[in-house]
């Protein structure tokens, strides 16, 4: 009791604060999202994501080497697909020589030890910008799961270590797990976007990949019939538990900052690693405020990353990974 106990003793210097710090971020906490495009020498800044780029495969090689040298040892791949290759079923996603498949091989050839995770969903390949097949204003569930499982096998064949289904169809983890087992990919893991909310924070990502739902008749304008309602908490636990039962090795909460209550709740509930995706809109907000001089970029970034880890994240997917590691 005061005055014998004075909590401020443990805050008197940076050395003692460091000694008693409960949460520490290291490079190995990060999963680095990368946006891949066709072409040569392409390093295209994304307007709503300052200092983040779409890159062609040759630039990807350099990037991967740099990440590895920085101690960043896991990437999450996304591709931007030409409009002419898009259709309702995302057929191009299954092309063994498609951009994703070549990107996986590029990373593995450049840096074999780099952990490669791949996004599994139809939206970058869909002419309607949805994560599944659209028919009469609806997103078909079971038919989409079939394609997602073929997509997963295709990524595994190209050398992916983990597939990361981000679509929120029911039962897709089981369908994917069974397909991987059938095809001999017992060691290919699944990181499930298990509690993924229908969020307005995904805007800049959809700019980056040109993957927003299109505005035409009989196509839903949002993803609310499959992604979760931001008001729900118990449902997040149910979704996550089901994905684990279906074979998910890692589960994920997305977005990050607005959903840290969910992260903690899930962390307390499950015994598999929990990933958190600090999404594009979260990145954009910090960059924009910092550009205006209204917030200190590095301090706000580190505070947010620490908060995510403190809430229970074992893995943080973040566009800040390189910026953060440079400060460590
Ligand atoms: C697509 C997907 C999205 C994100 C990751 N995978 C967008 C969406 O669901 O519309 C968002 C990532 C981000 O905003 O950084 N299935």
**CA gap 294, 273 in Å, rounded:** 35
Residue 63 CB–ligand 1 contact under 6 Å: no
In this prediction, residue 222 carries a pLDDT of 96
**CA gap 288, 297 in Å, rounded:** 9
In this prediction, residue 214 carries a pLDDT of 95
pTM of the shown model: 0.97
Atom of ligand 1 nearest to the CA of 227: 9
- Neighbouring residues of 232: CB distance < 8 A, sequence distance ≥ 6: none
SS3 content of the chain, % helix, strand, coil (to 5): 45, 20, 35
Which of 32, 36, 139, 166 is the pocket-test mutation for ligand 1 (most atoms within 8 Å of CB)? 166
Q: Rg of the chain's alpha carbons, rounded to an integer?
A: 20
The two structure tokens encoding residue 33: 């999202």
Ligand 1 mean position, distance from CA 28 (Å):
23
Atom of ligand 1 nearest to the CA of 166: 16
| Closest CA to ligand 1's atom 8 | 202
**CA gap 239, 226 in Å, rounded:** 12
The two structure tokens encoding residue 140: 């078909």
Residue 323 CB–ligand 1 contact under 6 Å: no
**CA gap 31, 232 in Å, rounded:** 26
Upstream peptide bond of 3 is cis (omega within 30 degrees of 0): yes
Residues in a beta bridge with 45: 53
In this prediction, residue 2 carries a pLDDT of 96
Helix or strand run (H / E) with residue 43 = strand 43-46
In this prediction, residue 165 carries a pLDDT of 98
Max Cα-Cα span within the chain: 73
Q: Which domains does the chain have, with CATH numbers?
A: 25-327 (3.20.20.70)
Residue 282 CB–ligand 1 contact under 6 Å: no
- Neighbouring residues of 60: CB distance < 8 A, sequence distance ≥ 6: 34, 36, 103, 106, 107, 110
Ligand 1 mean position, distance from CA 9 (Å):
45
**CA gap 77, 189 in Å, rounded:** 15
Among all residues, which ones are annotated catalytic?
A: 196, 254
The two structure tokens encoding residue 299: 């301090």
In this prediction, residue 234 carries a pLDDT of 97
pLDDT means over runs of 10, the chain (328 residues): 96 98 98 98 97 98 98 98 97 98 98 98 97 96 98 98 98 98 98 98 95 94 97 98 98 98 98 98 98 98 98 98 97
**CA gap 145, 133 in Å, rounded:** 10
In this prediction, residue 268 carries a pLDDT of 98
Residues in a beta bridge with 165: 120
Question: Measuring CA to CA, which residue among 130, 117, 49, 56 is closest to residue 88?
Answer: 130
* CB-based contact 118:100 (threshold 8 Å): yes
Which of 48, 120, 152, 205 is the pocket-test mutation for ligand 1 (most atoms within 8 Å of CB)? 205
């Amino acid at each position: 009791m005061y005055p014998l106990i004075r909590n401020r003793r443990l805050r008197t210097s940076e050395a003692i604060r460091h000694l008693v710090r409960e949460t520490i971020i290291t490079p190995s906490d990060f999963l680095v999202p990368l946006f891949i495009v066709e072409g040569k020498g392409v390093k295209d800044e994304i307007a709503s994501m300052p200092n983040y780029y779409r890159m062609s495969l040759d630039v990807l090689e350099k990037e991967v080497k740099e990440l590895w040298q920085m101690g960043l040892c896991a990437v999450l791949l996304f591709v931007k697909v030409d409009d002419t290759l898009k259709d309702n079923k995302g057929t191009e996603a299954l092309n063994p020589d498609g951009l994703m498949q070549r990107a996986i091989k590029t990373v593995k050839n450049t840096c074999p030890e780099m952990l490669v995770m791949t996004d599994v969903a139809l939206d970058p390949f869909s002419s309607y910008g949805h994560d599944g097949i659209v028919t009469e204003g609806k997103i078909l569930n079971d038919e989409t799961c079939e394609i997602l499982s073929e997509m997963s096998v295709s990524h595994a064949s190209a050398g992916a270590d983990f597939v990361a289904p981000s679509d929120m169809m029911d039962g897709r983890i089981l369908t994917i797990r069974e397909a991987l087992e059938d095809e001999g990919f017992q060691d290919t893991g699944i990181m499930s976007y298990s509690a993924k909310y229908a969020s307005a924070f995904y805007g800049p990502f959809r700019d980056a990949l040109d993957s927003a739902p299109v505005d035409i008749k009989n196509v839903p304008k949002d993803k609310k019939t499959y992604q979760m309602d931001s008001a729900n908490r118990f449902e997040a636990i149910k979704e996550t538990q089901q994905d684990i039962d279906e074979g998910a090795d890692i589960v994920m909460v997305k977005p990050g900052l607005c959903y840290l209550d969910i992260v903690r709740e899930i962390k307390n509930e499950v015994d598999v690693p929990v990933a958190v995706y600090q999404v594009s809109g979260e990145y954009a907000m910090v960059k924009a405020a910092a550009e205006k001089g209204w917030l200190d970029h590095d301090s706000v970034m580190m505070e947010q990353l620490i908060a995510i880890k403190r809430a229970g994240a074992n893995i943080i997917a973040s566009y800040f990974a390189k910026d953060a590691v440079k400060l460590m």
